[in-house]
Amino acid sequence: MNNQCRKKNHLENEDTLVKTVDIFTTLKQLPIQQYHSTNSSVENVLVQIILEQLHQYSSTGQRKRSVLQVAKIIGKSEPTTRKMLRKILPLLISPIRSDIQKANTVYRMIFGRIITSYQDLKRGALKAKVRLITTPTVFFKMIQENSAIAHLKVRIECIRKHRSLRDISDLKNANHTCKICADFEWEKNANKLNLGREITLNKGFSLARDRNLELVSFTNPELSLTQTEFNDLKQTNTLLNKRNRDIVLKWKHRDCKRTFNSRYRNIQEATSHCPYCNANLDQKITHNMAELIFRKYSSSKKFESEKRLGDILAIEGCEDLLELNMKSINEKYRNRITIDIFAVLNINGREIKLSIEHDGAQHDKREKIGVQATIGISKINGIPLTYKRAKDRWNAQLKRDDGLRDLFDLLKSFDYFLIQVPYTVKGTARYKFIINEFKRRTGETVNFNLAKAPDWRSLLKIL
């Protein structure tokens, strides 16, 4: 057999696999005449629903109905509906009838837990301006062998023909940067920005002064970095084939006096430099906004920061509710729970105990964002977490958030109220969010002129 024949047969076989195994096919190719319903209008309805689901999925990669919606249509419970769907589906598609594993995978794709389709990846690749190299057949085999697919990798090719692997979740969301292309861009701009030139100890000291930092010794952070230690660090950096600006140095923030390790280029390019102080900036903006909005109603004019929840509840003698409603949290940690921002307000004869929580990215319910933020915080604290441990901590954080909301729902009758400000509410829009949330929860209107509110950037200067 010549090479052309072999190639033709290979393509035909792959095309058949795609059509029969991956269900990227048309309804005309499904052998539905082989299924004969013995009962039932219910089964006939399910047959029609499955065919519609297959058609929708094969055309768009999206599902037409969930199992719960199907259950409501046929008047059965969700578990019963799942069993019936699993029973009928293999009988409709002959290639998966005798293969339980393939049948289960097809079910997971159109009704189950696999929420990413091959079409989703193709659309993501198109938006990211890359080409998806992984074939439907390979993709089907991947999801057949793995229950969780978000962190599986598919092969892509960028516009410059550089091939690399990318997480399925990243490609689906059109998040992609070719590292090889990024290196080329860096080299292109290096001469313009003088980024590739030699770094000297004096340049390091000069940069530190400009950034309100000190360049200190690794062995003794109380002393400045010496020329000998700097030369050793440069030599190590060269042996690792790293760029000049990738040298890692130890820096001390003049204000908070804390030290941290960072690459020279990160300090050179960043707008905020101390990770400890930078982590709290967004919360401080929320704090200052709250003081501006409510200062007419607070006798102290200043909101308290990081106030113990137990002390807040003690104002009305409600300390016992903390233990009753947050039993799942260890007592030692329960007693350490603090509220980011707190004040007692006097509005229309009511004494409102207002708590405001600034929810950073670690509170985000999306796993990828929440866990990565938790890992970032752990690095700042000097104890980096693995993904698994960070995920456990993130889940515990979400559980505490839910417990806190439930607790304040019970405390409404004592005029305790909680406003949770998500980090996704940016800039001046945060003023309006806090005011609207306050009115929604307390029923009270705040007299505050949004048009004259200071720009959020200016709030950093108040700190």
Average pLDDT (348-371) is 91
Among 110, 145, 167, give the residue marking a domain's end. Answer: 110
Average pLDDT (366-386) is 81
Query: Model pTM greater than 0.85?
Result: no
Q: Are residues 245 and 285 in the same domain?
A: no
Q: Are residues 248 and 302 in the same domain?
A: no
Q: Are residues 64 and 152 in the same domain?
A: no
Tell me: pLDDT of 176 over 70. no
- pLDDT for 325 equals 67
How far apart CA 277 and CA 271 sit, in angstroms, is 12
Among 129, 146, 180, give the residue marking a domain's end. Answer: 180
Tell me: pLDDT of 254 over 50. yes
Tell me: pLDDT of 33 over 50. no
Q: Please state the domain count of the chain.
A: 4
Q: Are residues 325 and 435 in the same domain?
A: yes
Among 57, 91, 110, give the residue marking a domain's end. Answer: 110
- pLDDT for 419 equals 95
Q: What single-letter amino acid sits at 133?
A: I
| Assigned domain for 438 exists | yes
Let me know the angle formed at the C-alpha of 224 by 223 and 225, rounded to the nearest 5 degrees: 120
Q: Are residues 360 and 457 in the same domain?
A: yes
Mean pLDDT of the chain: 77
| Assigned domain for 408 exists | yes
Lowest-confidence pick of 29-43, 87-101, 228-242, 432-446: 29-43
Lowest-confidence pick of 24-33, 97-106, 147-156, 315-324: 24-33
Residue span of the structural domain in which 439 resides? 276-461
Cβ atoms within 10 Å, residue 330: 10
Check residues 392 and 268 and name the one with the higher pLDDT. 392
Q: How confident is the model at residue 227 (pLDDT cuts 50, 70, 90)?
A: very high
| Assigned domain for 185 exists | no
List all residues 6 or more positions away from 322 whose beta carbon is below 8 Å from its beta carbon. 309, 310, 313, 334, 337, 407
Token pair belonging to 92 = 């409709």
- pLDDT for 433 equals 94
Tell me: pLDDT of 2 over 50. no
Q: Are residues 439 and 321 in the same domain?
A: yes
Q: Are residues 147 and 105 in the same domain?
A: no
Q: Are residues 68 and 150 in the same domain?
A: no
Lowest-confidence pick of 25-39, 244-258, 302-316, 387-401: 25-39
Check residues 254 and 239 and name the one with the higher pLDDT. 254
Tell me: pLDDT of 99 over 60. yes
- pLDDT for 51 equals 85
pLDDT tens-digit series, residues 407-447: 898 899 899 999 999 988 988 899 999 999 999 999 999 99
What stretch of H or E contains 131?
strand 131-132
Q: Pairing between strand 131-132 and 153-157?
A: antiparallel
Q: Are residues 130 and 74 in the same domain?
A: no
Check residues 305 and 326 and name the one with the higher pLDDT. 305
Q: Are residues 93 and 45 in the same domain?
A: yes
| Assigned domain for 295 exists | yes
